[in-house]
Amino acid sequence: MSYTEALTVQTFSIIDALYECGMNELVISPGSRSTPLAIAAELHDGIKTYIHPDERGAGYFAVGLTKKRRQPVGILCTSGTAAANYTPAVSEAGLSHLPLIVLTSDRPHELKNVGAPQAIEQNNMYSNFVRYQTELPIADTHDSAESLINDKVLQASQYFNGINMGPVHFNIPVREPIMPNIERLDLFKRRQKKRVPAMTLPGNIEKLTGTGLVIIGETAEDLTPLKPVLEQGNIITVFDPRQNLRTDVKDEIVNHDMMFSNFGDKHREYINRNVDFIIRIGEPVTSKQTNAFLKQTTVQQYLISEFQDIKPFPVTPDETYVGTINEILPRLINDDFKSDVKERFIKLSKDIHNYIDTNIEKFVDEGRYVYDIIQATDEARTFFLSSSMPIRDFERYDTRVTHDVFANRGANGIDGVISSALGIGTKEQVTMLIGDVSMNHDINSLLMAKLENIDFTVIVFNNNGGNIFSYLPQYAHKPHFERLFGTPLDLNFEHAAKLYDYEYVHIENADELTKDMLNQSGRQMIEIKTDREHNLESHNELKQQLKTLVDNAEF
């Protein structure tokens, strides 16, 4: 067998073996050394390929592809700094427990550490973030070549679901000549296995009695089966915006940030006296104030983590259960009765929403725009929210609670937002809310909507800088605030819209945001210019008005 045949067997077999274990999609960034793997994926009938010319964006695009259904998705690049550019997305996948399959092609060993071009140390380069990593040998004619591939993929596939789900890394050195034998389609011989969700049930579950506060963040599991439990009269259910079960549960609490940020001593004392237990599920919630409450309360706290990588933030729980949420929660909650505490939470939640609905027209800040966008966007559209202000404003102003929401909150970075939103956009219509700094960070990924014909609406709030910092202590230090934190960019995104073939609309006031505009198909960019100082004042004004409402609530 020649080297070309050995290379073909190795690269075609690994692509086929990954397909067998559930990889149906692969994002390819063009390069030379990755040629045999790219050709193998392109020839494989069961794999859809996407081409993203920027590895950093490609990694985040794959994050978006896998985010909703947690199907394993691959990314493939050439050697050198191309692989290094995957690092931010791999870190996000690691912290978010996403089954990302990283395939980095590499120079052969004789070209490493000798000054050869495009050669860096790639083995173990994602060791802080991946669950599994391996380097394949140079393709050879040994009769163990295929069995080695099968063994390595089998080991990696243990992290494609279950309590250790997360990214894996294959580093694959390729020696020249790099062209495979494209006639060897017979090597695509494996059938895809049915994915059976792994179930883990701890044996030390003890029943809880009384009134409970259940706080649910983002989960990989679909928690729909828990709806009857979460609607019980003694269970107060609090949802993060990224937990999409919130649209289907009756009497849900989604405006908890505006509650806990305005709670005084009397409210906290009432909860400490009358709530018997707190159950936290999934990822920590976005709300800083809800997390602050969890640190302060004296109520017993229980954490259900679907992953072995336990995240105790913001405070170490009194008891932790690792495993399948849909199995654990019903075994934890014992009785069902009508709780006065729940009634008070529900009434306050409805009063806050009613107050916003009634008074929103008095405001002209970004929050008002977010409110109008939510109200006028069809329920079928999915929102992708950038970190910092968009996800917080959505939580604050979503009085409708009908849309699915996604965001990158593993590492909470502002990079790769456009790419991930477009990954989701390959499956459904997406509206993205983003600020100007984050938009600039990933702007070249706008190209993917054009290349893949993705239905995508991007709404960019251009407040000429980092709006989130106006809400942080740095704002008080005026001499250096603008240069170091405000960071005005003075950008006009109309030029980007033209470059990447988007319809462009510039909005001057909220009345210009029409239902037709917000729900049209195709690629469009809506730029809304706002003022950071005014946004801060307006947010604080509404917060003060809601504080009065919360103070007067019956607690």
Give the CATH number of the domain where residue 491 resides.
3.40.50.970
Chain center to CA of 502: 25
Q: Where are the alpha helices (DSSP H) in 297-400?
A: 325-332, 340-359, 366-376, 389-397
Can you read off the two tokens belonging to residue 251? 């009497």
Decide if 396 is inside a domain. Answer: yes
Average pLDDT, the chain: 94
Q: How are the residues of the chain apportioned to helix, strand and coil, as percentages rounded to the nearest 5?
A: 40, 15, 40
- Are residues 510 and 375 in contact, defined by beta-carbon separation less than 8 angstroms? no
Are 271 and 384 contained in the same domain? Answer: no
Percent of the chain at pLDDT > 70 equals: 96
Question: Is the residue at 206 inside a domain?
Answer: no
User: CA-to-CA distance for 259 and 346, rounded, in angstroms?
Assistant: 11
| Ordered DSSP codes for 62-130 | HHHHHHTT---EEEEE-STHHHHTTHHHHHHHHHHT--EEEEEEE--GGGTTSS-TT----TTTTTTT-
Mean pLDDT of all residues in 203-231: 96
Q: How far apart are the first and last CA of the chain?
A: 79
Q: Do the domain assignments include residue 385?
A: yes
Contact predicate 448/61, CB 8 Å: yes
**Please, are residues 364 and 538 in contact by the beta-carbon 8 Å criterion?**
yes
Supply the range of the domain harboring residue 41.
3-175
Confidence of residue 470 (pLDDT cuts 50, 70, 90): low
The mean pLDDT of 145-155, rounded to a whole number, is 95
555 pLDDT tier (thresholds 50, 70, 90)? confident
Residues 224 and 299 in one domain: yes
Domain shared by 50 and 145, yes or no: yes
Amino acid at 286: T
Fill in the amino acid letter for 130. Answer: V
Q: How many domains does the chain have?
A: 3
Note whether residue 519 is domain-resident: yes
Long-range contacts of 520-524 (CB under 8 A, 24+ apart): 520/457, 521/429, 521/455, 522/455, 523/449, 523/450, 523/454, 523/455, 523/456, 523/457, 524/456, 524/457, 524/458
Both 338 and 403 in one domain: the answer is no
192 within domain boundaries: no
164 and 22 part of one domain:
yes
In this structure, the answer to whether residues 473 and 502 fall within a common structural domain is yes
- Given a cut of 70, is residue 53 above it in pLDDT? yes
**Tens digit of each residue's pLDDT (9 = 90 or more) over 402-451:** 999 999 999 988 899 999 999 999 999 999 999 999 999 999 999 999 99
Same domain, 234 and 331: yes
Of 313, 348, 383, the residue that ends a domain is: 348
In the predicted structure, residue 197 carries a pLDDT above the cut 70: yes
Closest residue by Cα to residue 502 from 438, 441, 435, 432: 432
pLDDT digits (tens, 9 = 90+) for 261-271: 999 999 999 99
Same domain? For 221 and 138 the reply is no
Average pLDDT over residues 464-490: 64
Is 341 among the domain residues?
Answer: yes
Residue 194 maps to a domain? no
Rounded to whole angstroms, how far apart are CA atoms 340 and 359? 28
Cα dihedral across residues 196, 202, 206, 210: positive or negative? negative
Interatomic CA distance for residues 403 and 374, integer angstroms: 8
In single-letter form, the type of residue at position 54 comes to D
67 belongs to a structural domain:
yes
User: 169 with 49, same domain?
Assistant: yes
**End position of a domain, from candidates 124, 154, 175:** 175
Distance of alpha carbon 321 from alpha carbon 324, whole angstroms: 9
Identify any residues that bridge with 75 across adjacent strands, giving them in sequence order.
27, 102
Strand order in the sheet with 456-462: 405-407, 382-385, 430-435, 456-462, 523-529, 503-507
Write down the pLDDT at residue 413.
87
Residue 471: pLDDT over 90: no
Element housing 212 (H / E): strand 212-216
The answer to whether residues 374 and 280 belong to one domain is no
Mean predicted confidence (pLDDT) in 42-63: 97
Last residue of a domain, one of 115, 148, 175: 175
Check whether residue 251 and residue 398 sit in a common domain: no
* CA–CA distance, 235 with 226 (Å, rounded to integer): 12
What CATH number did the domain enclosing 334 receive?
Answer: 3.40.50.1220
284 lies in the same domain as 163 = no
